[in-house]
A and B are shown apart, each in its own frame.
Chain A
Amino acid sequence: MLGTLSVNQRAAILSVVMLVVGLLIWEAAIPAQKAAEELTEYERLTGGGAPKAGVPPPSQVIAKAWEQLSNPFYDAGPNDKGIGIQIGYSIYRVLTGYFLAALVAIPLGFLIGMSQVAYKAFNPFIQVLRPISPLAWMPLALFIIQDSEASAIFVIFICSIWPMLINTAFGVSGVRKDWVNVARTHELGSLRTAFTVILPAAAPTIITGMRISIGIAWLVIVAAEMLVGGTGIGYYVWNEWNNLDLTSVIFSILMIGVVGMLLDSAFGYLQRSVAYVE
């Protein structure tokens, strides 16, 4: 029977089976809470009747998810906002920092890719700055900018700039000489050559860099928000940990994964739209 199904269908069935088995094992592995009447006198006296903190079973996480997702945008004060609002804040910070980085990295990458001198001049700075963990910038950013919101955006900016810069420079410098010669024999000016020949030729590499950057930015925003606090999905995770609400922690971890996947697939779509076969 399985033989008649396509590869995709078989893979989908296997995925569902793994999910169900995983959830069942998880559910079964959580020890049940003893009912109050089963407790001995001693246990009751030592607080055994109070609910014990533990990893919640998947059923609880699913119930939590249902509760949160059915009303994602409620706002009941600084410490109680819907998951939609928290994710919205995070996405806003990521996209702001990310597009500022793109505005700097792509033109600069063009310059570095087209000019040997610029490449050699910028290279030492890039090599030193690139391996710095973006969070290491946080204290300096907080001191100089004096605003936690803007500091978080700066951290996103600094972490997403490098892959875009390096990939743009690499893509631009690798454009085939023949295509540039086609532009030259058609008397295209340097600006038109950049837009009609070099940009489309380097686009797949540039978009790859942008895709790597958005992934890193989404990784970093969670940590940054744990530090700066206030709003955002990273803050939400940390806040629920402080509340010892592990159900919400697990739920928000899953949400981080889902949003990251959506951001990545958006760039994957963009990547396919500019791809070409030589």
Chain B
Amino acid sequence: MTRPYLSIEQLTQRFPDGQGGEMTVFEDASFGIEKGEFVCILGHSGCGKSTIMNILAGLAEPTSGVVKMDGFEVSGPSLDRGVVFQNYSLLPWLSTLKNVTFGVKARYPSWSRAKVEEHARAYLAKVGLEGDVVHRKPSQLSGGMRQRVSIARAFANQPKLLLLDEPFGALDALTRGTIQDELIKVWGDTEQTVFMITHDIDEAILLADRILLMTNGPFARVAESVEITIPRPRNRTQIVEHPNYYAIRNHLVQFLGHRSKELAGQQSGGAAQSPEPVRIDKTKPDADPEPEGARLRAVNE
């Protein structure tokens, strides 16, 4: 078996529980992400999704276990792993454009000022921010626009791995839809590997190639890896009519509703806890499962 592009190996996180003991958030979590893949992780609050995200970003240290990207162990934050934070984390004293050039300058220190600005403007344009709006401060932008800037900043750095921590959590449903479309568009143009936390099942189905399902904590684990067998390009109004849509959706709802609790609290006993692959495809009920690695992938042009 070939090693995936990003491989999480036996990751364990324990925190002191405040009474002298230890609380294990997750134990020996192991999974992989292929290059160019869009993976969403779903799970209830407190199962350690954000902790996994922070470890991947290098902002937190796991108790044990390693994360390997492209064959190398990662430690500490890096420009190779871009992060879009839930609360946007724009620097409020900089204009929209400067917030993006801030990242581009750090990524490409040798570039001229003009090249940096041109690159930043190009990525802002991809998320629909053009013209005078780029000179506004974040406080003068709506929540949706701020998150667009944050996405542009992350994509403009062309990281090897993009981490999205509930990027649409604070947005209203309509804005969320628009930005999801923009996210798919930018992702399609850039072939970026994306790992995203979300609470929204429909969002995960729309965006992801694969959804990782986490059981409840403590001793949470990534229990299943559900392949989204809906061809791209996907459109929110059309995917709901695809025969696989509700089958997958029901599977996810059932997992989050029942099995996330039933499977919770199982200790690993030191063995690697890999998710069980799940493939639901109603379009060809008696066909052989597709060979591993062959994923459905189409790009919006």
Interface residues of A (CB under 8 A from B): 178-179, 181-182, 184-188, 196-197, 200-201, 203, 274, 276-278
Contact = CB atoms under 8 A, between A and B. Distances in A.
Given A178-B89, A184-B77, A187-B79, A276 B106 contact: no
Chain A binding surface, main DSSP class: helix
B86 to A, nearest CB: 9
Contacts of A181: 59, 77, 83, 85, 89
Contacts of A178: 85, 87, 89
Contact of A186 (B59, B79, B93, B139): B79
Interface string B89-116: 1011110000000110011000000000
Nearest to B90: A182
B160 interface: no
27 contacts: A178-B85, A179-B91, A181-B59, A182-B85, A184-B58, A184-B77, A185-B58, A185-B59, A185-B77, A185-B79, A185-B81, A185-B83, A186-B79, A186-B102, A186-B103, A186-B106, A187-B77, A187-B79, A188-B106, A200-B91, A201-B91, A201-B93, A276-B92, A276-B93, A277-B137, A278-B92, A278-B139
B144 interface: no
Interface of B: 57-59, 77-79, 81-83, 85, 87, 89, 91-94, 102-103, 106-107, 137, 139, 157
A184 B89 CA distance: 12
A242 B295 CA distance: 95
Contacts of A188: 106
B102 A276 contact: no
A182 B91 contact: yes
- Shortest 4 CB-CB distances between A and B: which pairs? A277-B139, A276-B93, A186-B106, A178-B89
A277 B95 CA distance: 12
A185 B163 CA distance: 11
Contacts of B81: 185
A179 B89 contact: yes
A160 B81 CA distance: 45
A274 B94 CA distance: 11
A201 B92 CA distance: 8
A200 B92 CA distance: 9
B85 A187 contact: no
Nearest to A278: B92
Contacts of B78: 185, 187
Contacts of B107: 186
A276 B59 contact: no
B97 to A, nearest CB: 15
Nearest to B76: A184
Q: Which residue, of A185, A203, A274, has the highest number of chain B Cβ atoms within 10 A?
A: A185
A276 B137 contact: yes
Contacts of A182: 85, 89, 91
A197 B82 CA distance: 18
A197 B79 contact: no
A186 B93 CA distance: 17
A277 B79 CA distance: 27
Contact of A184 (B59, B92, B102): B59
A181 B82 CA distance: 11
Candidate in A179, A182, A200, A277 with the most chain B CB atoms within 10 angstroms: A182
A187 B139 CA distance: 25
B89 A200 contact: no
A175 to B, nearest CB: 11
A200 B93 contact: yes
A196 B77 CA distance: 18
Contacts of B93: 200-201, 203, 274, 276
B58 to A, nearest CB: 7
Contacts of A187: 77-79, 106
Contacts of B94: 200
Contact of B82 (A179, A184, A185, A276): A185
B85 A196 contact: no
Given A185-B81, A187-B78, A277-B139, 18 more contacts: A181-B85, A185-B58, A185-B77, A185-B78, A185-B79, A185-B82, A186-B79, A186-B102, A186-B103, A186-B107, A187-B77, A200-B93, A201-B93, A203-B93, A276-B92, A276-B93, A276-B137, A277-B137
Contacts of A200: 91, 93-94
